Amino acid sequence: MGNKQTIFTAQQLDAYQDCTYFTRKEILRLFYRYRDLAPQLVPLDYTNHPDVKLPYELIGSMPELKDNPFRQRIAEVFSEDGEGNMTLDDFLDMFSVLSEMAPRDLKAYYAFKIYDFNNDDFICKSDLEKTLNKLTRNELTEDEVRMVCEKVIDEADLDNDGRLSLEDFQHMIVRAPDFLSTFHIRI
């Protein structure tokens, strides 16, 4: 296609284009963003699949993420090792899901994992309390936190088990029109 980039092979770029919602240009741009976080760690040649992982501290200091109260959970969910240390694949995956073009179901799935702090595949009351406290920086009273969590479970829990399963969450997201526009990072 008339390009002269030597970072990826043509197949690699092709695979990335198929597996994410980005175009070639955007993938290369994202690669340079990734590299800018740690130029000495990230090689300029990815054709032989180097195994490079950037520690969470670097990812969490990106301008797009540094003010996000859920940045640690986002990094944990998308990283392979679950600790927040991301390879380029994880990085691209993360921003692909968070881009404008990703469908709602895909975003809802990952949102569910982000809000599930204890990784038990359910959003229980303690997960909700943690979410709420991260959102408001602990400025609500205990009573108010309790009331809000109760109301959330009331509203979204379909199968009456006192916590939100993935299906409850997805059903609720279908009816939350803001979700697509807020669960979106522009990069």
Partner 1 sequence: MDNDAVFYTDRSGRITSNPLLDQLPSYQSLLYRRKSSVSGTKRRSSSRGRTGSSSSGKWGMSSFTRPLDKPKSQIEQQDIRELAKPMAEKRRDKTQRLEEARELSSWRQWRQSSHRYLKRLRDDAQEWMSSMKLWRGDIHLIEGMFGTGILSYFSFLRFLVVLNLIIFLIKFSFVMLPIIIAPYASGNITYNLNDAGVCTVYPSSSRLGLVIFHEHITDLLSGGGFLEQTYLFYGYYKADKIHFPNITYNLALAYLLSTIAYLFLSLIWIVKRSARGFKRNLVQDEDRFQSFCNKIFAGWDFCITNVNAARLKRSSLLYELKTDLEEERIKQKIADRTRKEKCRIYFLRLILNLFVIGVLAGCFYSIYIATIFSQEAQMTKIKVNFIVDLIYEYLPSIVITVANFITPLLFSIIINYEDYSPAFEIRFTLMRCVFMRLTSIGVLLFSLWSQITKCEEEPCICGYNHVLYSCWETRVGQEMYKLTIFDFITIVAVTIFVEFPRKLIVKNCDCGLAKWWGQQEFAIPQNVLEIVYGQTICWIGTFYCPMLPAICTIKYFFIFYIKKVSLINNCRPATRPFRASSSNFFFLVVLLIGLALACLPVTVSVAQINCSHACGPFVNYNTTWEVLPATVSQLPSGAQKLLFALSSEAFAVSFFVVTCLAMFYVIALAGAHKRVINQLREQLAMEGRDKRFLIQKLCQAQSLSTSRSPVSRPQPRSGSRSSPSYHTSFSSNFNEGVFLAHSPPDSSTHV
Can residue 36 be called a binding residue for partner 1 (CB under 8 A)?
no
**What whole-number distance in Å separates Cα of residue 123 and Cα of residue 92?**
26
- If the CB atoms of residues 35 and 173 are measured against partner 1, the closer one turns out to be 173
> For every residue of the chain, which 3-state class applies, written as one string?
CCCCCCCCCHHHHHHHHHHCCCCHHHHHHHHHHHHHHCCCCCCCCCCCCCCCCECHHHHHCCCCCCCCCCHHHHHHHHCCCCCCCECHHHHHHHHHHCCCCCCHHHHHHHHHHHHCCCCCCCECHHHHHHHHHHHHCCCCCHHHHHHHHHHHHHHHCCCCCCCECHHHHHHHHHCCCCHHHHCCCCC
- If the CB atoms of residues 3 and 151 are measured against partner 1, the closer one turns out to be 151
Can residue 40 be called a binding residue for partner 1 (CB under 8 A)?
no
The correct pick among 32, 44, 47, 121 for binding partner 1 (CB under 8 A) is: 121
User: Cβ 4 to partner 1, closest distance in Å?
Assistant: 19
Rounded alpha-carbon distances, angstroms, from residue 175 to 6, 41, 103, 172: 45, 44, 15, 5
Can residue 122 be called a binding residue for partner 1 (CB under 8 A)?
yes
The correct pick among 8, 35, 96, 117 for binding partner 1 (CB under 8 A) is: 96
The correct pick among 36, 41, 47, 159 for binding partner 1 (CB under 8 A) is: 159
The residue range among 27-35, 40-48, 52-60, 141-149 that interacts with partner 1, by the rule CB under 8 A, is 141-149
User: Cβ 31 to partner 1, closest distance in Å?
Assistant: 13
How many residues of this chain bind partner 1 (CB under 8 A)?
Answer: 80
- If the CB atoms of residues 45 and 139 are measured against partner 1, the closer one turns out to be 139
Can residue 119 be called a binding residue for partner 1 (CB under 8 A)?
yes
- If the CB atoms of residues 19 and 44 are measured against partner 1, the closer one turns out to be 19
